[in-house]
Amino acid sequence: MQKPLILVTNDDGITAPGLRSLIKFMKEIGDVVVVAPDSPQSGMGHAITINDTLYSKKMIVDVEAGAPEEYSCSGTPADCVKLGLQEILDRKPDICISGINHGSNASINVIYSGTMSAAIEAGIEGVPAIGFSLCDYAWEADFSASKEFVQTIVKEALKNGIPKGVVLNVNIPKLEVKKIKGIKICRQARANWKEKFDKRTSPMGKDYYWLTGEFELLDKGEDTDEWALANGYVSVVPTQFDLTAHHVIQELNSWDV
Q: Do the annotations mark residue 98 as ligand-binding?
A: no
Q: Do the annotations mark residue 11 as ligand-binding?
A: yes
Side chain identity at residue 71, one-letter code: Y
Q: Do the annotations mark residue 42 as ligand-binding?
A: yes
Q: Do the annotations mark residue 192 as ligand-binding?
A: no
Q: Are 65 and 17 in contact (CB under 8 A)?
A: no
Strand ordering across the sheet containing 233-240: 56-59, 69-73, 31-37, 5-9, 95-102, 129-134, 166-172, 233-240, 182-185
Q: Are 190 and 216 in contact (CB under 8 A)?
A: no
- From residue 29, how far is each of 13, 51, 159, 168 by CA, in Å? 22, 38, 12, 18
Burial 66-105, CB ≥16 within 10 A → b, else e: eebebbbbbbbbbbbbbbbbeebbeeebbbbbbbbbbbbb
Annotated binding site: 11-12, 42, 101
Annotated binding site for a divalent metal cation: 11-12, 42, 101
